Amino acid sequence: MRASIVVLTALSLTACGDADRPEGTDAVVPDLGTGKADALDHVEDRGAIGLVDGRSGVFTEDLQFDGYRLSVRDGARVRIEITRKGTAKKLDTTLFLYGPATDAGFGTSAFAFDDDSGWGRQSRLDELELAGGDYLVVVGTHDARGRGAYGLTATCTNGACEPLPPTGCDEVVANNILACVAIQVADAATDPETPDLTRADALALCTDGEALGPVFDNLCAAPQPAAFCAAGFDAFAQQMGPACHDELAPFAVECVFGDEYRDLETSHDVIRGRERVLASPVGLSELERQQVIAAVRSSAHTDVTTIDEAFERADGGQINATELWDRTSARAYVAYEFGAGDTSVGAYFVHDTDERVAVISDGFLERCSAARGPQGNDCTSDADCSVGRCFGSSEASDVGRCTVLGGFGDQRDCHAPGDCDIDEGLVCAGLTRGDDGQCFPAWMRGNFTEAELALPIPDGDAQGLSRTLMAYGLATVDMDVELELFVEHPNAAQLRVTLTNPAGTEAVVFDGEGAAGPSLRFAGPVLGFSGDEGVNGPWTLRVVDGAGGDVGVLDHWTLRLGSRFD
């Protein structure tokens, strides 16, 4: 025999030269190249090897190294060997052991090696005491030119080597389950047999054994499977299903913020207060700094620990901060959103706390625990309201919203959105009419929208296209009237847009002046209303194309109304 077991503490496997071979042997080692290599990148991945059933392979080419993944519990004592049975008599094998695996892989340094400690010229690593985790067993031949079959076994020698069943809810499994919940709810909404499937019901379905099967199969078929794979599916399902159900139960709610970050623009339940574009930590409180760091860490930047690092990771060094008031629960929140490689990411928090209630991932909301509250639902009488009274109907419609007619706080004058305390449910109203406003309850504001219309505008027709939105649940007269719309048209200068309030007063929004190029985007206040006419009722948008030849379409429009009592 040329060598016995060598336990390596710093074996750099980056070349095949003599200097890089294990001490006391001239065996060829895997050529792992340079840079951020991982052992598994440069050997043939043959899958997992268990502690009961062995594996077999065949060397058919030069420089062939076969890798097998082994999972053990902490304190396991293991023997790994090339078996006499099933191995070609003239084959001269080598064994390397890498690990335990981290997020970066198995590494490039084998900590144990053997050439000829087994039968004849075969290899054996005996009495290895291992920390819990995943390892990579690599089988090679002494000169890397060997040909022939081999058998490989991994044997537990202290009777306690199998990985323990998983504990807690694995993060990747949790994300798969949440995706399953979203799919179940979306499918149920279009299925007449399951129209009332709740998110809690969907969570129960997605954490049972049958639903967890594909998750287990996909994750355990990966080149570097999760640690729970070695314990088997039954152990995985029996432990992971209940653990994930309990952990994810707070997120099995109808998120009050919607399904996407952009839903805030049209939300009927959540009112936007102060909006800021943060370009540096200057002026931020200590809590706001911690919120920003946590928001950035909620994206892929989990290594961020300082406020300066947080701003460095945001595209352009800018982070959008938006204060929010949820009228359904009478609770204030704040959202931090930023671009990361042109992807919208970030997080929501309960205002003035570090409690995270939702994550923004590629523009979509995940891990949302902010459920709709008991206020704000549509109603036709007080009997429909468990909280508050049915308020804000009109002659045109008897539909109102369940509202607690309070939350006025200190109705002081304001000159900017930040002058009003969002924690008291107050927003600055009236700034679209002048430089001075007043802090009014946020429930007095409302968004009303029609999206994805693609409605053609009659060409050369003085009547044009009319669309009506019914405003309800507000106070009595308008305070702020803001409009957002998008019209696709080859020549926007041909368009005239007006808005008519429930009292029949018409205000011109756009009359072709200053139009440059195709299409019309408008987002801003609409002036021309007195502020003393009813706000609840029908608001009518009219788009007229006064010239023939070019046809346009109305894509969407949103009406944002602030109100007051007359």
pLDDT in tens, 94-146: 999 998 988 778 888 889 999 999 989 999 999 899 999 889 999 999 999 99
3-state helix, strand, coil in the chain (%, to 5): 20, 35, 45
Residue 406 is predicted with a pLDDT of: 73
Average pLDDT of the segment spanning 365-371:
94
Q: How many other CB atoms are there within 10 angstroms of residue 131's CB atom? A: 12
Q: How many other CB atoms are there within 10 angstroms of residue 339's CB atom? A: 15
Sign of CA dihedral 351, 352, 356, 359: positive
Strands (E), 287-396: 319-326, 331-339, 344-350, 356-361, 364-366, 378-379, 389-391
Sign of CA dihedral 190, 194, 200, 205: negative
CATH topology of domain 446-564: Jelly Rolls (2.60.120)
Give backbone dihedrals phi and psi of 196, rounded to 5 degrees, phi first.
-105, 20
> Which run of H or of E encompasses 400?
strand 400-403
CATH topology of domain 6-156: Jelly Rolls (2.60.120)
Region(s) of the chain under CATH 2.60.120.380: 6-156
Strand 66-72 relative to strand 44-48: parallel, antiparallel, unpaired? parallel
Average pLDDT of the segment spanning 339-343:
89
User: Does the predicted model carry a pTM greater than 0.75?
Assistant: no
Locate 506 and state its tokens.
Answer: 């018409």
Average pLDDT of the segment spanning 223-236:
76
> Which of 387, 383, 362 lies closest to 374, judged by CA?
387
Q: Is the pLDDT of residue 76 over 60?
A: yes
Average pLDDT over the chain reads 88
Paired residues of 361 in beta bridges: 364
Region(s) of the chain under CATH 2.60.120.260: 446-564
